[in-house]
Amino acid sequence: MKGFVLLARQIQENSIWYRDPDHLKLFLYLLMNANYKRDRVFELRDNKGYVVKVRYAQYLCSYSKISEDCQYSAGNKLVRWGPSRVNRMLKALESDGRIKVLGKSQLGSLVQVENYHVYQDVSSYAQKGLGRPEEDQEKTRGNKVNNNNNKIILDNLWEVYLDEMCNSRGKQPSLTAKRQKILELLYKEQLDTESYQEQFRGILKAVKGSEHHMKERAYQMPESLFRNEERRERWAMKGSEKKYKTKTHSVSRSQWSVEA
């Protein structure tokens, strides 16, 4: 197999890094095998004439193919995933929002890698100060909060926080340096440039829906809610759950047919 995929060093700080190695291996396998050509659609046909179209960021695979390609040796034993193991891991990756199983046919399962365009666009890493020499990365990180644009972003995020989480009566919390840093990390890791305020509001609504976090005021503060990357990622996922629930993962037989 030739070619390459882009992989951010930040994956070492991502929650998938702390799962068992099989989940990480399966995700990287799907990432490496997904269709990377935006302008090319692969058509696969079974012996009964059903056609599956594999578009950008998608991969058509059977459980047996995954098991064969991902087998490995552990000591003197060959480890090969069974169908139920593959199915459970795919569901776990889908629950995390990393992939989406679009449908199944006699040819296999059609899997889409979510945010594939972000992973494979060099500009995504440049915007966040990644993929540069380490000294340039440190300089970029240091400058980000100090420029006027980021001050506006942090102020906007704090206004959303006060609007959602704080009663207008009485003394309101202040935007301390620690909270600025936490919000900066949340913005850099989880929020989009264009819709960051809307996304942040969705996250806070998810917090308000948690009985546990609404019991104690301290649990609602940014330094508690978003204190590490795993928590920031988890709340970002919860904030977008409504979006995921409105999408169907099933594909009818008619959807496998060739488009006119």
Q: What pLDDT score was predicted for residue 34?
A: 95
Q: What pLDDT score was predicted for residue 192?
A: 87
List pLDDT tens digits, range 103-153: 988 899 999 999 898 888 877 776 555 445 455 555 554 554 455 678 888
Q: What pLDDT score was predicted for residue 241?
A: 73
Q: What pLDDT score was predicted for residue 26?
A: 96
Q: What pLDDT score was predicted for residue 18?
A: 86
Measured distance CA(113)–CA(111) in Å, rounded: 7
Measured distance CA(23)–CA(105) in Å, rounded: 23
Q: What are phi and psi of 175, to 5 degrees?
A: -85, 90
Residue 30's closest CA among 78, 74, 63? 63
Domains of the chain: 9-119 (1.10.10), 145-243 (no CATH)
Q: Is 58 exposed, middle or buried (0-12, 13-18, 19+ CB in 10 A)?
A: buried
The count of residues in the chain is 260
Q: What are phi and psi of 166, to 5 degrees?
A: -120, 135
Helix axes 177-190, 196-208, angle to 10 degrees: 110
Torsional class of 65: left (φ above 0), alpha (ψ -120 to 50), beta (otherwise):
alpha
Q: What pLDDT score was predicted for residue 136?
A: 52
DSSP state of 173: P
Q: For strand 42-45 and strand 51-54, is the pairing parallel, antiparallel, or unpaired? A: antiparallel
Q: What pLDDT score was predicted for residue 128?
A: 53
Using the structure block, give the residue that is written with the tokens 């490995």.
72
Low-confidence ranges of the chain (pLDDT < 70): 1, 126-148, 167-170, 242-260
